[in-house]
Amino acid sequence: MKENAVTGGRPLIGVSTYLDSSVSWGVWHLPAALLPAGYPRLVRAAGGLTAMVPPDDPAHAAEVVARLDGVVVAGGPDVAPERYGAAREDRTGPPAPERDAWELALIEAALSSGTPLLGICRGMQLMNVALGGTLIQHMDGHTEGIGAFGTHTVKPVPGTLYESIVPDASTDVPTYHHQAVDRLGRDLVVSAYAEDGTIEAVELPGPPWALGVQWHPEMGEDTRVMAALVRAAS
């Protein structure tokens, strides 16, 4: 039994991180595991505690997940198209093989153990790939430009987990992506769409609790999606 279930304390939410070969801060210029501050801020606002989970040996993923109450697979670089059997297109970003392997293992471990799982942007795309789905490698209109988040409207699918969390007829969300779900992975259902028809949220219909959103809730003020994960992790 995980400690949170015994103590009743705030659930520990593990958030995956970037792994960058060259980062500068202060007098230092070193490799670093990075997590934008919006993630722990959102987890804290939703009532949880944050643990950074940098890339590691995928064989250790189940051991790591066993010590967490919930898992967030964060946004980041494009998923390698080789992971879903596609040829690389010109506008697909450079690969991040360590992160792909580690986060796919985290997803598998979370689903196998029933640990609540939230995928954000890349994390949602990886959930789809982990379950045998594919991705659109490039699309326009879901950013404001390089390094600038955009905003667009998403609409929930009635009767879904996402609609139970965010029952608004439509919600404006912060967005920054140029890839999206193409063929849906096994057992996943679509739970929100953008106005242009892009799949904006996916979920598994029964236990385990697993939801992916294409936007970036850590860049906004709406805590409802993260709060739902924290409740599930409690």
Q: Which residues are catalytic?
A: 121, 216, 218
Query: Locate tokens 């967490």: which residue?
Result: 68
Please choose, from the candidates 176, 124, 127, the residue with its C-alpha nearest in 3D space to the C-alpha of residue 150. 176
8 Å CB contact between 143 and 178: yes
What are the strands, taking DSSP E only, across 60-209? 70-73, 117-120, 135-136, 150-156, 171-175, 180-181, 189-194, 199-203
Q: Render 159-175 in DSSP notation, one character per residue.
A: TSHHHHH--SS-EEEEE
Q: How far is CA 230 from the centre of its chain?
A: 14
First and final C-alpha spacing in the chain: 12
